[in-house]
Amino acid sequence: MTAAQPKVSVLMSVLDGEEYLAEAMDSILGQDFTDFEFVIVDNASTDRTAEIIASYGDHRIVTITNSETLNLSQSLNRGLVAARGDYVARLDADDIALPGRLRKQAAWLDAHSDVALVATAACEFNDDTPPPGRPYPTPPADHDALMAALSTNSIIAHSSIMFRRQPVVEMGGYPETFTYCMDYLLYFRLASKTRLAALPETLVAIRSHPGQITALPSWRLRREVEAVAAFTEALNYPNLAVPVRAGLKRYRSQTSIRLALIHARMAHPVAAAGWLCRAAFCAPLAFFHVVRNGLCNRLEHTQ
Protein backbone atom coordinates (compact mmCIF):
# COMPACT_ATOMS: atom_id res chain seq x y z
CA MET A 1 0.00 0.00 0.00
CA THR A 2 1.42 3.40 -1.01
CA ALA A 3 1.78 5.92 1.79
CA ALA A 4 -0.32 9.07 1.53
CA GLN A 5 1.40 12.03 -0.12
CA PRO A 6 2.78 14.36 2.55
CA LYS A 7 2.12 18.09 2.53
CA VAL A 8 5.80 18.97 3.06
CA SER A 9 9.08 17.32 2.16
CA VAL A 10 11.97 18.46 4.35
CA LEU A 11 15.14 18.26 2.24
CA MET A 12 18.61 17.83 3.73
CA SER A 13 21.97 16.82 2.28
CA VAL A 14 24.67 15.76 4.72
CA LEU A 15 28.36 15.02 4.26
CA ASP A 16 30.24 13.73 7.31
CA GLY A 17 27.85 15.55 9.61
CA GLU A 18 27.96 13.32 12.68
CA GLU A 19 28.78 16.14 15.10
CA TYR A 20 25.57 18.15 14.62
CA LEU A 21 23.25 15.90 12.58
CA ALA A 22 21.18 14.53 15.46
CA GLU A 23 20.38 18.01 16.74
CA ALA A 24 19.26 19.11 13.28
CA MET A 25 17.13 15.99 12.82
CA ASP A 26 15.55 16.37 16.26
CA SER A 27 14.53 19.93 15.40
CA ILE A 28 12.53 18.63 12.42
CA LEU A 29 11.08 15.47 13.95
CA GLY A 30 9.92 17.48 16.97
CA GLN A 31 7.89 20.00 14.95
CA ASP A 32 4.21 20.42 15.86
CA PHE A 33 3.34 20.12 12.16
CA THR A 34 3.43 16.39 11.38
CA ASP A 35 2.29 16.03 7.75
CA PHE A 36 5.79 15.76 6.32
CA GLU A 37 8.45 13.39 5.06
CA PHE A 38 12.12 13.94 5.85
CA VAL A 39 14.30 13.32 2.77
CA ILE A 40 17.94 13.02 3.84
CA VAL A 41 20.63 12.57 1.20
CA ASP A 42 23.79 11.04 2.65
CA ASN A 43 26.43 12.51 0.35
CA ALA A 44 28.86 9.54 0.58
CA SER A 45 29.73 10.23 4.21
CA THR A 46 32.60 8.28 5.78
CA ASP A 47 31.82 9.01 9.45
CA ARG A 48 28.85 7.89 11.58
CA THR A 49 26.27 9.83 9.54
CA ALA A 50 24.53 6.73 8.13
CA GLU A 51 24.45 5.10 11.57
CA ILE A 52 22.89 8.19 13.15
CA ILE A 53 20.16 8.41 10.48
CA ALA A 54 19.35 4.69 10.78
CA SER A 55 19.15 4.90 14.58
CA TYR A 56 15.95 6.97 14.45
CA GLY A 57 13.71 4.34 12.86
CA ASP A 58 11.15 7.03 12.04
CA HIS A 59 8.85 6.10 9.14
CA ARG A 60 8.89 9.73 7.93
CA ILE A 61 12.62 9.55 7.13
CA VAL A 62 13.51 8.76 3.51
CA THR A 63 17.24 8.10 3.12
CA ILE A 64 19.13 8.40 -0.17
CA THR A 65 22.79 7.40 -0.22
CA ASN A 66 25.14 8.81 -2.85
CA SER A 67 27.79 6.36 -4.05
CA GLU A 68 30.21 9.25 -4.50
CA THR A 69 30.40 12.79 -3.18
CA LEU A 70 28.44 15.27 -5.29
CA ASN A 71 28.31 19.03 -5.08
CA LEU A 72 25.47 20.36 -2.95
CA SER A 73 23.25 21.25 -5.91
CA GLN A 74 23.55 17.75 -7.37
CA SER A 75 22.91 16.13 -4.01
CA LEU A 76 19.87 18.28 -3.28
CA ASN A 77 18.46 17.54 -6.73
CA ARG A 78 18.64 13.81 -6.00
CA GLY A 79 16.50 14.45 -2.95
CA LEU A 80 14.19 16.76 -4.87
CA VAL A 81 13.46 14.01 -7.39
CA ALA A 82 12.47 11.67 -4.57
CA ALA A 83 10.41 14.27 -2.70
CA ARG A 84 6.61 13.89 -2.85
CA GLY A 85 5.36 16.88 -0.86
CA ASP A 86 3.53 19.87 -2.30
CA TYR A 87 6.08 22.04 -0.50
CA VAL A 88 9.81 21.53 0.12
CA ALA A 89 11.52 22.94 3.21
CA ARG A 90 15.32 23.14 3.31
CA LEU A 91 17.55 22.58 6.31
CA ASP A 92 21.31 22.11 6.42
CA ALA A 93 22.61 19.32 8.61
CA ASP A 94 24.22 21.70 11.10
CA ASP A 95 21.30 24.14 11.47
CA ILE A 96 18.16 24.03 13.62
CA ALA A 97 14.50 24.49 12.73
CA LEU A 98 12.85 26.41 15.54
CA PRO A 99 9.42 25.44 16.95
CA GLY A 100 6.47 26.10 14.64
CA ARG A 101 8.56 26.58 11.53
CA LEU A 102 6.94 24.00 9.24
CA ARG A 103 3.41 24.81 10.37
CA LYS A 104 3.76 28.56 9.85
CA GLN A 105 5.44 28.41 6.45
CA ALA A 106 3.04 25.77 5.11
CA ALA A 107 0.05 27.79 6.29
CA TRP A 108 1.47 30.91 4.65
CA LEU A 109 1.92 29.20 1.29
CA ASP A 110 -1.59 27.74 1.59
CA ALA A 111 -2.94 31.27 1.97
CA HIS A 112 -0.84 32.88 -0.81
CA SER A 113 -1.18 30.92 -4.04
CA ASP A 114 0.73 33.58 -6.02
CA VAL A 115 3.94 33.00 -4.05
CA ALA A 116 6.29 30.10 -4.86
CA LEU A 117 8.84 30.52 -2.05
CA VAL A 118 8.68 31.89 1.48
CA ALA A 119 11.75 32.41 3.66
CA THR A 120 11.91 33.45 7.31
CA ALA A 121 14.10 35.57 9.52
CA ALA A 122 17.03 33.68 11.03
CA CYS A 123 19.54 33.88 13.85
CA GLU A 124 23.18 32.79 14.04
CA PHE A 125 24.65 30.77 16.91
CA ASN A 126 27.70 28.69 17.75
CA ASP A 127 28.82 26.14 20.32
CA ASP A 128 29.43 28.88 22.90
CA THR A 129 26.24 30.85 22.22
CA PRO A 130 23.09 28.72 22.00
CA PRO A 131 20.01 29.87 20.04
CA PRO A 132 18.66 32.47 19.63
CA GLY A 133 22.19 33.84 19.39
CA ARG A 134 22.68 36.83 17.10
CA PRO A 135 19.82 37.84 14.78
CA TYR A 136 20.43 38.02 11.04
CA PRO A 137 19.06 41.04 9.16
CA THR A 138 15.33 40.45 8.66
CA PRO A 139 14.44 39.94 4.98
CA PRO A 140 11.62 42.18 3.70
CA ALA A 141 8.21 40.50 3.52
CA ASP A 142 7.07 41.97 0.19
CA HIS A 143 8.32 40.52 -3.11
CA ASP A 144 9.53 43.80 -4.62
CA ALA A 145 11.35 44.90 -1.48
CA LEU A 146 12.78 41.42 -1.02
CA MET A 147 14.18 41.36 -4.57
CA ALA A 148 15.69 44.81 -4.11
CA ALA A 149 17.38 43.59 -0.92
CA LEU A 150 18.62 40.41 -2.63
CA SER A 151 20.21 42.51 -5.37
CA THR A 152 22.59 44.01 -2.81
CA ASN A 153 22.95 41.29 -0.16
CA SER A 154 22.38 37.54 0.24
CA ILE A 155 19.72 38.26 2.80
CA ILE A 156 17.86 34.91 2.66
CA ALA A 157 19.23 32.04 4.75
CA HIS A 158 19.08 28.91 2.60
CA SER A 159 17.99 26.80 5.58
CA SER A 160 14.98 29.07 6.08
CA ILE A 161 13.21 28.55 2.77
CA MET A 162 10.08 26.57 1.89
CA PHE A 163 9.02 26.44 -1.76
CA ARG A 164 6.42 24.85 -3.99
CA ARG A 165 8.01 21.70 -5.37
CA GLN A 166 6.46 21.66 -8.84
CA PRO A 167 7.75 25.03 -10.16
CA VAL A 168 11.28 24.22 -8.98
CA VAL A 169 11.19 20.74 -10.53
CA GLU A 170 9.91 22.21 -13.80
CA MET A 171 12.86 24.59 -14.03
CA GLY A 172 15.34 21.77 -13.39
CA GLY A 173 15.87 22.13 -9.63
CA TYR A 174 19.06 23.64 -8.29
CA PRO A 175 21.64 24.76 -10.91
CA GLU A 176 24.14 21.90 -10.76
CA THR A 177 27.07 23.88 -12.18
CA PHE A 178 26.98 26.01 -9.02
CA THR A 179 28.51 24.71 -5.81
CA TYR A 180 28.05 27.72 -3.52
CA CYS A 181 25.54 30.19 -5.00
CA MET A 182 22.90 27.70 -6.06
CA ASP A 183 20.35 29.09 -3.60
CA TYR A 184 20.86 32.71 -4.70
CA LEU A 185 20.36 31.81 -8.34
CA LEU A 186 17.33 29.67 -7.47
CA TYR A 187 15.63 32.74 -5.97
CA PHE A 188 16.14 34.81 -9.10
CA ARG A 189 15.07 32.00 -11.42
CA LEU A 190 11.86 31.59 -9.44
CA ALA A 191 11.32 35.35 -9.22
CA SER A 192 11.48 35.62 -13.02
CA LYS A 193 8.28 33.56 -13.17
CA THR A 194 6.48 34.08 -9.85
CA ARG A 195 6.72 35.85 -6.49
CA LEU A 196 8.80 35.37 -3.34
CA ALA A 197 8.11 36.43 0.24
CA ALA A 198 9.54 36.19 3.75
CA LEU A 199 8.12 35.90 7.25
CA PRO A 200 9.59 38.36 9.78
CA GLU A 201 9.58 35.77 12.57
CA THR A 202 12.85 33.98 13.36
CA LEU A 203 12.14 30.32 12.59
CA VAL A 204 15.59 28.89 11.90
CA ALA A 205 18.95 29.04 13.68
CA ILE A 206 22.11 28.99 11.54
CA ARG A 207 25.11 27.38 13.17
CA SER A 208 28.56 28.93 12.76
CA HIS A 209 31.48 26.55 13.29
CA PRO A 210 35.06 26.06 12.01
CA GLY A 211 34.24 22.92 9.99
CA GLN A 212 31.63 24.44 7.71
CA ILE A 213 32.48 25.04 4.08
CA THR A 214 32.29 28.83 4.36
CA ALA A 215 35.10 28.72 6.92
CA LEU A 216 37.54 27.04 4.53
CA PRO A 217 40.24 29.28 2.92
CA SER A 218 39.51 27.91 -0.57
CA TRP A 219 35.85 28.84 -0.31
CA ARG A 220 36.04 32.57 -0.84
CA LEU A 221 37.69 32.64 -4.27
CA ARG A 222 35.39 29.99 -5.76
CA ARG A 223 32.32 31.49 -4.16
CA GLU A 224 33.06 34.98 -5.47
CA VAL A 225 33.59 33.68 -9.03
CA GLU A 226 30.27 31.84 -8.83
CA ALA A 227 28.59 34.98 -7.47
CA VAL A 228 29.68 37.00 -10.51
CA ALA A 229 28.26 34.29 -12.77
CA ALA A 230 24.99 34.28 -10.82
CA PHE A 231 24.66 38.08 -11.03
CA THR A 232 25.36 37.95 -14.77
CA GLU A 233 22.65 35.36 -15.35
CA ALA A 234 20.14 37.25 -13.20
CA LEU A 235 20.80 40.46 -15.14
CA ASN A 236 19.71 38.67 -18.32
CA TYR A 237 16.22 38.03 -16.95
CA PRO A 238 13.55 40.30 -18.49
CA ASN A 239 11.34 42.64 -16.50
CA LEU A 240 13.77 43.22 -13.64
CA ALA A 241 12.75 46.26 -11.63
CA VAL A 242 15.10 49.22 -12.10
CA PRO A 243 16.37 49.17 -8.47
CA VAL A 244 17.01 45.41 -8.70
CA ARG A 245 18.95 45.73 -11.96
CA ALA A 246 21.01 48.61 -10.58
CA GLY A 247 21.67 46.70 -7.34
CA LEU A 248 22.83 43.61 -9.22
CA LYS A 249 25.23 45.67 -11.32
CA ARG A 250 26.73 47.25 -8.19
CA TYR A 251 26.91 43.88 -6.44
CA ARG A 252 28.68 42.33 -9.46
CA SER A 253 31.11 45.25 -9.63
CA GLN A 254 31.91 45.05 -5.91
CA THR A 255 32.43 41.29 -6.14
CA SER A 256 34.76 41.77 -9.13
CA ILE A 257 36.81 44.24 -7.07
CA ARG A 258 37.07 41.69 -4.26
CA LEU A 259 38.28 39.11 -6.79
CA ALA A 260 40.86 41.59 -8.06
CA LEU A 261 42.16 42.04 -4.51
CA ILE A 262 42.27 38.28 -3.91
CA HIS A 263 44.30 37.74 -7.08
CA ALA A 264 46.57 40.66 -6.22
CA ARG A 265 47.34 39.07 -2.82
CA MET A 266 48.04 35.80 -4.66
CA ALA A 267 50.56 37.66 -6.89
CA HIS A 268 48.46 37.16 -10.03
CA PRO A 269 48.58 40.70 -11.51
CA VAL A 270 47.08 39.81 -14.89
CA ALA A 271 44.03 38.17 -13.30
CA ALA A 272 43.71 41.08 -10.86
CA ALA A 273 43.75 43.61 -13.68
CA GLY A 274 41.16 41.61 -15.58
CA TRP A 275 38.75 41.64 -12.63
CA LEU A 276 39.29 45.37 -12.14
CA CYS A 277 38.37 45.95 -15.78
CA ARG A 278 35.23 43.87 -15.33
CA ALA A 279 34.33 45.85 -12.22
CA ALA A 280 34.67 49.15 -14.04
CA PHE A 281 32.67 47.91 -17.02
CA CYS A 282 29.86 46.37 -14.91
CA ALA A 283 29.02 49.51 -12.96
CA PRO A 284 31.35 52.47 -13.58
CA LEU A 285 29.78 54.70 -10.91
CA ALA A 286 29.89 51.99 -8.25
CA PHE A 287 33.49 51.21 -9.23
CA PHE A 288 34.42 54.88 -8.84
CA HIS A 289 32.84 55.09 -5.38
CA VAL A 290 34.53 51.91 -4.14
CA VAL A 291 37.94 53.01 -5.39
CA ARG A 292 37.49 56.53 -4.03
CA ASN A 293 36.41 55.26 -0.60
CA GLY A 294 39.30 52.80 -0.53
CA LEU A 295 41.80 55.51 -1.33
CA CYS A 296 40.31 57.83 1.28
CA ASN A 297 40.52 55.12 3.94
CA ARG A 298 44.12 54.39 2.99
CA LEU A 299 45.03 58.09 3.22
CA GLU A 300 43.38 58.39 6.64
CA HIS A 301 45.42 55.46 7.94
CA THR A 302 48.68 56.94 6.64
CA GLN A 303 48.18 60.37 8.18
Task: Tell me the pTM.
Answer: 0.89
Contact 67, 90 (CB under 8 A): no
Q: Cα–Cα distance between 100 and 88 in angstroms, integer? A: 16
- pLDDT for 297 equals 47
The tens-digit pLDDT sequence of the chain (303 residues) is: 456 899 999 999 999 999 999 999 999 999 999 999 999 999 999 999 999 999 999 999 999 999 999 999 999 999 999 999 999 999 999 999 999 999 999 999 999 999 999 999 999 998 777 777 888 899 999 999 999 999 999 899 999 999 999 999 999 999 999 988 999 999 999 999 999 999 999 999 999 866 555 545 556 788 899 999 999 999 999 889 999 999 998 888 888 888 888 888 888 888 888 777 877 776 666 666 655 554 444 434 433
Eight-state DSSP code of residue 214: G
Q: What kind of architecture, by CATH, is found in domain 8-212?
A: Alpha-Beta Complex (3.90)
Q: Where, residue-wise, is CATH 3.90.550.10 in the chain? A: 8-212
Element at 52 (helix H, strand E): helix 49-56
The helix, strand and coil proportions of the chain, stated in percent and rounded to the nearest 5, come to 45, 20, 35
Strand spans (E) along the chain:
8-14, 36-42, 61-65, 87-90, 96-97, 115-126, 129-135, 162-164, 195-207
Backbone angles phi, psi at 287, to 5 degrees: -60, -45
- The pLDDT of residue 62 is 97
Q: CA 62, CA 282: separation in Å to the nearest integer?
A: 45
Instruction: For strands 36-42 and 61-65, give the pairing.
Output: parallel
CB 93 within 8 A of CB 21: yes
